[in-house]
Amino acid sequence: MIISSSTAMAKFPHISCLLLLFTLSSLLGTFAARRLSLKEATIDDLQLAFKHNQLTSRQLVQYYLAQIRKLNPVLKGVLEVNPDALHLADKADYERRTKAPVSLLSKLHGIPILIKDNIATKDKMNTTAGSFALFGSVVPRDAGVVEKLRKAGAIILGKASLSEWSHFRSTKTPSGWSARGGYGLNPYTFSDPCGSSSGSAISVAANLAAVSLGTETSGSILCPSSLNSVVGLKPTIGLTSRAGVVPISLRQDTVGPICRTVADAAYVLDAIAGIDHNDIATIETSKYIPKGGYAQFLRRDGLSGKRIGIFGAFHDFGNDTSLAQTFEKHLNTLRKGGAVLVDKLEIANLTEIYSRSDEYAALYIECKITLNAYLKELVASPVRSLADVIAFNKKHQKLEKIKEYGQDLFLAAEATNGFGKTEKLALLNLARWTRNGLVKLVTKKKLDVVVSPYASLSRVLAIGRAPGLIVPAGYENNEEPAGICFGGLRGSEPKLIEIAYAFEQATKIRKPPSLKGFKF
């Protein structure tokens, strides 16, 4: 079992290391003989291999466990693996042999998936948001999205690392760092992976798992997906359940897939979207779910006839002429696919939006209220309130690196006292900026989506509670990946999937990291 502390290892002494002794070399030999490569394998690849008896879920889990053993000590994308993963794989294999017809099984059936460590799993694993303050806590139930994944037959492979407390403990905390997991590394540059869903992106990029789940409040799926050359889908707020997720803000929090292809992201979204009565926002938002699901929008001609808005900043890449040329080429790809580009657009109040003062004023009080509610609902926990977490950090300063990074965001959140004039005005401003900005622009210009380089749209989409889908777009001079982000109004996931899939199929830019320069 791979956990970030000896304490965690001691908690499950009955788990034999034999679970991980199926070596990478022997697996590669077996699959090479069958002309099957698991590196970069998509869900469709894996399901086809299952169908033709070229692969079992047990073999697949063993492959990823071996990958984790080999690469995770350096990359630190995984906090712990599920001790029941092989048992769940055997169960999936049995169901595939005995259930007829197999064609009725979900696309995710038998597929291992990593879950960000702020998403609750009611099993032998911890749910800690990367903090020792929650180590050993007991959740009341699976998170809503995990329950849906299990129902679809997915195998919960383990917990992905993250920026601790979803990067809302301190402004000084590095992206990808947590007390439990240490520093997660971008597998392309061995540097900043961005966060807070850092481990989810690292692990998929480096082939430690087929797919993963991340969460986003403001940029936490889109940014790490861009920097780690993977596909990240940030759904409309409420499209996927947040029940059982360590929260920051129910107004902005969302759960979405991080994968290597747009198709895989659509398959995961099909599995996790929908009503969960433990998250009332999903009831109203379920109206956006299309009959027949999201996979039907995986169309190679998805660009045809689409109106795509281009922001003026799209053309500003400073001194990086190579990347500028790459993105200009992408605009031509969109045109060749039949899209109409509406160029050099600007969003009103962009300066105010990116100042973050109003967003943070709202997030502070929302964090205090929602986190307190989450902690009180736990069956067992060392901490029961934000104040308890702050006190734990002060008591365990060395463990939580308080002297180095502090906890200024937590302190600001704890200092709030309900929704006063400041908080109410902030919420009104955020709503007005969205109404007069993204919504007005898309409506007035009759756009299907807007597009921008990197994850630069993330804060606009965050306060607008709107979806975004980012796909690999290229690599800078130092091989640092960059993504291209498509965003739209609430409920526009079908259009985003159509456009992003057509772009992806026309460009096929993603390449796995070389992992050169480090000994594994």
- Residue-wise pLDDT for 471-506, tens only, equals 999 998 778 999 999 999 999 999 999 999 999 999
According to the model, what pLDDT value does residue 476 have?
A: 85
State the pLDDT at residue 8. 40
Structural domain tally of the chain? Answer: 1
Q: Is the pLDDT of residue 2 over 50?
A: no
Whole-number percent of the chain with pLDDT over 70: 91
- pLDDT tops 80 at residue 7: no
Please compute the mean of the pLDDT values over residues 111-131 and round it to a whole number. 98
Of 76, 107, 116, 368, the catalytic one is 116
Residue 476 lies in a domain: yes
Q: What tokens does 19 get?
A: 């679970």
> Beta strands of 123-260 (E only): which ranges?
155-160, 177-178, 182-183, 211-216, 231-234, 254-259
SS3 81: strand
- Average pLDDT value for residue range 232-257: 98
pLDDT confidence bin for 304, thresholds 50/70/90: very high
10 falls within a domain: no
Q: Which residue has the higher pLDDT, 479 or 387?
A: 387
pLDDT of residue 365: 98
Task: Return the pLDDT at 101.
Answer: 79
pTM of the model: 0.93
Q: How many CA atoms lie within 13 A of 241 on its CB side?
A: 22
The confidence band for 249, taking pLDDT boundaries of 50, 70 and 90, is very high
* pLDDT of 392 strictly over 60: yes
Residue 363 lies in a domain: no
| Helices (H), ranges, 140-221 | 144-151, 164-167, 198-205
Q: Which structure tokens are listed for 397?
A: 């300063």
pLDDT of residue 205: 98
Domain region containing 54: 43-358+423-507
The answer to the question of residue 35 being in a domain is no
Question: pLDDT (tens digit, 9 = 90+) per residue, 210-241?
Answer: 999 999 999 999 999 999 999 999 999 999 99
72-81, 291-300, 396-405, 450-459: the lowest-pLDDT one: 450-459
User: Catalytic residue at 99?
Assistant: no
* pLDDT given at position 324: 83
Residue 316: inside a domain, yes or no?
Answer: yes
pLDDT value, residue 314: 65
pLDDT of residue 496: 98
At residue 365's C-alpha, the angle toward residues 363 and 368, to 5°, is: 105
Percent of the chain with pLDDT over 90: 85
**Active-site annotation holder among 163, 220, 241, 381:** 220
What pLDDT shows up at residue 14?
A: 35
CATH number at residue 60: 3.90.1300.10
For residues 251 and 520, the model is more confident at 251
Mark whether 137 is an active-site residue.
Answer: no
In angstroms, rounded to a whole number, what is the distance separating the alpha carbons of residues 268 and 116? 14
- pLDDT confidence of residue 315: 67
Q: Is 116 a catalytic residue?
A: yes
The answer to whether residue 268 sits within a structural domain is: yes
Examine residue 232 and state whether it is found in any structural domain, yes or no.
yes
**Model confidence at 518: pLDDT above 90:** no
In a domain, 15, yes or no: no
Whether residue 1 is predicted with pLDDT greater than 50 in this model: the reply is no
CA distances from 317 to 324, 327, 419 (A): 6, 9, 40
Q: What is the pLDDT of residue 313?
A: 64
Quick one: average pLDDT of 155-171? 98
- Amino acid at site 226: S
pLDDT at residue 29 is higher than 80: no
Sequence length of the chain is 520
- Whether pLDDT at 35 is above 70: no
Which residue of the set 196, 197, 381, 492 is catalytic?
Answer: 196
Mean pLDDT of 272-290: 98
Contact 347, 311 (CB under 8 A): yes
